[in-house]
Structures are given as structure tokens and as C-alpha cells.
């Protein structure tokens, strides 16, 4: 009986400890952390990139919240293909610190799973009856609502103290939220001051 109690306690402690570790983080992904990871560390984690170039950031509508330097060709960009569940992963560095993680999804991931992936709540932008654009004030969520119908392409925004996350979604049926096509995690170091 005592052996059973000790074994049961050990299992409960292990389950509790593993339940408390949460790998989702808004400012990182699979060991890559915005404002910390260097390009050398990224290559160690993901392997050799298929492209290595210097360019500007493609940040979609987040551009209105960012410093104009995001439009300059000063970011080292490493691209990786067919890494796990992703058709492409693009990483952008400024002064050898990771500034943006862009994920293009190979497998279907539903928008409802974003909270699990990044540990944040997301607001819809561009769906019928929703705000069609971001608020002018950086870091401010648009008015929250639950859409009745979805356009074939729309976006979601997640905001943390360190990161803006812009998500591209698509659907073939306006009654369903569809799937995630691409996400961009952008460091708030680039935020307009």
C-alpha cells in the first residue's frame, strides 16, 4: 500500500510539473527568441538556410505601428524550407538580434489554436462587421467581436509587451474561420516611438 501511495504521488507531481511548463510564448518559437537569438544560434537550431540576404521587413499592416527603419534594406534575412510543420520559416535580424519570425504553415492549423501556439488572445481584423484596420495607436487592440461571416482572406492581431503578432488566415466557406496561412512575430523594439 505504501509503495502504491509513493508511486501515485510521484506520478501526480510529474504530471503537475509537466502541466506547468508551457512552451508557447509570444516572443519566441522553438528556442528562437526575439531580441535575443543571433543568426548563428538560429542556424544551430534550424540548420543551414536556403537563402541569406539583406532586405526590408514585410510586415503587412503592422507597418503603421513600426519605426520607418523597417522599410530600409538593413535586415539580414535567413529563410528555411520544409522545417517540421512549416513550408517556410523566415527570420529577420537587425544588428545580429532576431527582430521577426515569419512562419508559413504546411499543415492546416485552425485560428482557434493560436492561443495555444503563442499564449495570447487574438482579435479579428478585416472580417464582415469588424474593424477593417488596426487602430492608429501602436499596441492597442481593435474593438473585439465575434464575426458571423468571414471573408476569404482576413487577419488576426495578437499583442504582448514584447511582440506584435500578425496572422494571415483564409477560408473557402464564409461561415467558418478557415485556416492560418502565415504568422509574423515582430519585436516591439521596432515600435514607433
Note the pLDDT tens digit of each residue in 8-47. 333 333 333 333 334 568 899 889 999 999 999 999 999 9
Residue 1 lies in a domain: no
Q: Which set of grid coordinates corresponds to residue 44?
A: 544551430
The residue range of the domain holding 81 is: 23-190
Residue 113 lies in a domain: yes
Confidence band, pLDDT 50/70/90 cuts, at residue 181: very high
Residue 3 lies in a domain: no
| 142 close to 75: Cβ distance less than 8 angstroms | no
Q: Which set of grid coordinates corresponds to residue 156?
A: 488576426
Residue 57 lies in a domain: yes
Q: What is the pLDDT of residue 7?
A: 32
Q: Looking up cell 487592440, which residue turns up?
A: 141
**CA–CA separation, 46 vs 40, rounded Å?**
10
Count of domains forming the chain = 1
Residue 75 lies in a domain: yes
Residue 125 lies in a domain: yes
**Cα angle for residues 185, 188, 192 (degrees, 5° grid):** 125
Residue 13 lies in a domain: no
Q: What's the mean pLDDT in 124-148?
A: 76
Residue 69 lies in a domain: yes
Q: What is the pLDDT of residue 1?
A: 39
Amino acid at each position: 500500500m505504501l509503495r502504491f501511495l509513493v508511486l501515485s504521488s510521484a506520478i501526480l507531481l510529474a504530471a503537475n510539473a509537466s502541466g506547468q511548463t508551457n512552451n508557447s510564448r509570444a516572443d519566441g518559437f522553438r528556442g528562437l527568441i526575439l531580441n535575443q537569438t543571433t543568426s548563428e544560434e538560429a542556424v544551430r537550431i534550424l540548420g543551414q538556410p536556403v537563402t541569406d540576404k539583406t532586405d526590408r521587413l514585410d510586415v503587412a499592416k503592422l507597418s503603421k505601428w513600426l519605426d520607418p527603419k523597417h522599410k530600409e534594406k538593413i535586415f539580414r534575412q535567413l529563410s528555411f524550407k520544409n522545417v517540421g510543420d512549416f513550408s517556410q520559416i523566415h527570420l529577420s535580424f537587425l544588428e545580429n538580434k532576431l527582430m521577426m519570425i515569419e512562419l508559413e504553415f504546411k499543415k492546416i492549423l485552425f485560428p482557434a489554436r493560436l492561443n495555444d501556439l503563442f499564449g495570447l488572445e487574438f482579435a479579428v481584423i478585416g472580417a464582415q462587421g469588424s474593424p477593417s484596420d488596426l487602430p492608429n495607436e501602436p499596441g492597442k487592440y481593435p474593438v473585439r467581436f465575434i464575426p458571423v461571416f468571414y471573408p476569404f482572406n482576413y487577419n488576426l492581431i495578437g499583442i504582448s509587451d514584447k511582440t506584435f503578432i500578425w496572422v494571415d488566415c483564409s477560408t473557402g466557406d464564409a461561415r467558418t474561420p478557415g485556416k492560418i496561412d502565415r504568422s509574423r512575430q515582430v519585436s516591439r523594439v521596432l515600435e514607433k516611438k
